[in-house]
Amino acid sequence: MRREIFTEEHEAFRDMARAFIAKEITPHWSQWEQDKMVSRDAWLAAGRAGLLGIHVEEKYGGGGNRDYRFYVIFNEELARAGANGPGFTVHNDMIGPYLDRLCTPDQKERWLPGYCSGELVAAIAMSEPGAGSDLQGVRSTAVRSGKSYVLNGQKTFISNGQLADLVIVVARTDPAAGHRGISLLVVERGMAGFERGRNLDKVGMHAQDTSELFFNDVQVPAENLLGEEGGGFVALMQNLPRERITIGVTALAGAEKVFEDTLEYCKQRQAFGQPIGKFQHSKFVLAEIATELAVARSFTDRAITEHCAGRLSTEEASMVKWWNTELCNRVADRCVQLHGGYGYMREYSVARAWADSRAQSIYGGSTEIMKEIIGRSLGL
């Protein structure tokens, strides 16, 4: 059933995205999980299908003037397929707004065609070993020297870290200026002193490359400064609400799919002479999940509408992110329990969803940080 926030054009796009995932992602998923990496062929296929840079001007190879709801649809379909390996969401929803808002005309000519075609995979490097949600604790430095910045530092938990050709690095260009001394620099594959560490061994999300990155006296040309020097922290604060609502959108779609699969399992699985869904406890658990998902869906679709209209506040985006990621964790956990022993087997989608979803309440700002932001909005 079509949701009210979508038009027929959006739903036609959903059909295309679903077909793309079925053809280009699902058949290769098992191999990618073993490789701990998604093939670059998948990125190029996504570019050919018009699924990267959906809103970018057509002259750069993008989809033209398409709104955020097209990204919502693609992310929902990826989540429903359990396809969290391809870092398309990072590339599209987290990097795209920075390039869109901050790139100079020359930078757009250099980077956007490859960004849209899938030839240039993008990442953003914020987190450090000693600075996660606290972006003001960033220690990486970029010192201006002639026509370049000399970049030094270490980043960790970087999605797309192994595959990335463009990395937006958060660094201090003026250590004495506090948050006003933070800038964004675009580091490109092949720059001397830019090294990738290990592909991190995570509990879930095995097909997504997540890496440590090292910058040792990297000479970053001044023309790779993204936005104004010292404007990095403001840019981060402007773009984080988009990142957070996107994480919430993805979490809710994943939770809905896990519930659908579990409901069907409970109708089919027999115990003591009847489907396990007939037992009062199972029935009540499923009723609770269905209700929680319905409430979250209403709130999330309203937030999507507000974001498209440019009215979604930072605290509302934080609410979506907090509520939906924690809900997804609860739903996945209860659905594993309803599956019994089979729920702990990775051949069952519920087990993979349980392991893969856990990180959502941590990355993009932890649940605790979301509550802090919401609390401050209340004047506390």
E runs forming strands in 189-302: 194-199, 210-221, 225-226, 270-271, 274-275
Contact 45, 96 (CB under 8 A): no
> Is residue 128 flagged as an active site residue?
no
pLDDT tens for each residue of the chain, 380 residues long: 679 999 999 999 999 999 999 999 999 999 999 999 999 999 999 999 999 999 999 999 999 878 999 999 999 999 999 999 999 999 999 999 999 999 999 999 999 999 999 999 999 999 999 877 777 789 999 999 999 999 999 999 999 999 999 999 999 999 999 889 999 999 999 999 999 999 999 999 999 999 999 999 999 999 999 999 999 999 999 998 999 999 999 999 999 999 999 999 999 999 999 999 999 999 999 999 999 999 999 999 999 999 999 999 999 999 999 999 999 999 999 999 999 999 999 999 999 999 999 999 999 999 999 999 999 999 99
Domain 123-229, CATH class in plain words: mainly beta
Task: Label the pairing between strands 210-221 and 274-275.
Answer: unpaired
Q: Which pTM does this prediction carry?
A: 0.95
Tens-place pLDDT, residues 279-297: 999 999 999 999 999 999 9
Contact 252, 324 (CB under 8 A): yes
Which residues are 171's β-sheet partners?
A: 183
Collect all residues with Cβ–Cβ distance below 8 Å to 124 and sequence separation of at least 6: 90, 94, 95, 98, 158, 167, 168, 170
Distance CA 370, CA 360 (A): 12
Instruction: Return the sign of the alpha-carbon dihedral for residues 123, 155, 363, 306.
Output: negative
CATH dotted code for 8-120? 1.10.540.10
DSSP state of 181: G
Q: Which residue has the tokens 């896990």?
A: 258
Identify the burial level of 349 via C-beta atoms within 10 angstroms of its C-beta, where 0-12 means exposed, 13-18 middle and 19 or more buried. Answer: middle
Q: Provide the 3-class DSSP secondary structure of residue 175.
A: helix
Domain locations along the chain? 8-120, 123-229, 234-377
Torsion of CA 309, 310, 312, 313, to 10 degrees: -160
Domain 234-377, CATH class in plain words: mainly alpha
Q: Provide the 3-class DSSP secondary structure of residue 357.
A: helix
Structure tokens at 49: 């299908």
Torsion of CA 306, 123, 18, 266, to 10 degrees: -80
Collect all residues with Cβ–Cβ distance below 8 Å to 243 and sequence separation of at least 6: 93, 94, 364
Structure tokens at 197: 């560490």
Q: Which of 243, 256, 306, 368 is catalytic?
A: 243
